Amino acid sequence: MVSVSDRVRAALARPTSPHETRGASVVRPVVFGATDGLVANLSLIMGVAAAAREDPHSVVVAGIAGLLAGGFSMAVGEYVSVRSQRELLDYQVELQRDQLRYTPEQERAILVDIYTSKGLSAMEADLIVDRILADPERALDTFVREEIGLSAETMGSPYTAGLGSFLAFSGGAFVPLVPYLLAGPALAFPLSIGLAIATLFAVGMGVSRLTHRQPLRSGLRQAALGAAAAIVTYAVGALLGAAVHG
């Protein structure tokens, strides 16, 4: 079984081809989880800071609560999502196994139609299908991929998905909280914003290495979106704080 660290190392290794997409299965959950955690907790911290008039204790409590709530929510969501996909795949595999056993000619015709629709001649499709059907396990795997469009390799483990999402979200959510844990009240607010925006910019530039987009543009896009979310929640928090405190 491939470990999470092995997957991360493979994603960060230099691509061997401009068409390579080996990091896609790691990039999406890690980037999504970390960015979601960072933006969500930054927004929460900014809103609470504005409403509580930058009371550091209220901000820290809200930040830790947001980190844990969001992290567990992401973990449960990813686990259930991947587990459901795996259960669907298991059901489809067994169903396909029965179809190959009891209606082999019908299944053969389906696979021939799939290959002819991709541009092969009837003779070429017949030859390929005969070779595939000669190996029952290969035939089963081919039908699941070609007819149903599912693949175990692209799904991963629900436990890995859940844990990875929790760690990614928590790591991102911890960034805007750090200044409130280490710095004084006067510095915590600007440092929180600055550190969060800088991290978003770095994440955007890192993603550009895999998407082959312009690094500066990707970094600025991430930073701008995070800043916009923080500004909106700060403004809403300030309005709510003014209403509550009179």
* Interval 130-186: pLDDT, tens: 888 888 888 888 888 877 776 666 667 788 888 888 999 999 999 999 999 988 778
**Residue 8 within any structural domain of the chain:** no
d(CA 128, CA 139): 11
**Residue 37 within any structural domain of the chain:** yes
CB 37: neighbour CB atoms within 10 A?
27
**Residue 20 within any structural domain of the chain:** no
Find the range with the poorest average confidence among 43-47, 171-175, 180-184, 199-203: 180-184
pLDDT-derived band of residue 21, with 50, 70 and 90 as boundaries? very low
Give residue 123's region: left, alpha or beta (phi > 0; psi -120 to 50). Answer: alpha
**Residue 2 within any structural domain of the chain:** no
**Residue 130 within any structural domain of the chain:** yes
Mean pLDDT computed over 211-224: 86
**Residue 12 within any structural domain of the chain:** no
Count of the separate structural domains present in the chain: 1
Judged against a pLDDT cut of 60, whether residue 4 lies above it is answered with no
Q: What was the pLDDT predicted at 88?
A: 85
Short-list 75, 98, 223, CA closest to 163: 75
**Residue 79 within any structural domain of the chain:** yes
Give the N- to C-terminal CA distance of the chain in Å, as an integer.
59
Q: What was the pLDDT predicted at 175?
A: 93
> CB of 52 within 8 A of CB of 59?
yes
**Residue 34 within any structural domain of the chain:** yes
How far CA 35 is from CA of 22, 114, 215, in Å, comes to: 21, 40, 17
At residue 213, the 3 state secondary structure works out as: coil
Question: Domain span at residue 73?
Answer: 25-245
Q: What does pTM read for this prediction?
A: 0.74
User: Of the spans 82-86, 168-172, 180-184, 206-210, which averages the highest pLDDT?
Assistant: 168-172
Short-list 11, 19, 24, CA closest to 154: 24
Q: What was the pLDDT predicted at 14?
A: 52
Q: What was the pLDDT predicted at 27?
A: 60
At residue 155, the 3 state secondary structure works out as: coil
The larger pLDDT score, comparing residue 199 to residue 185, is at 199
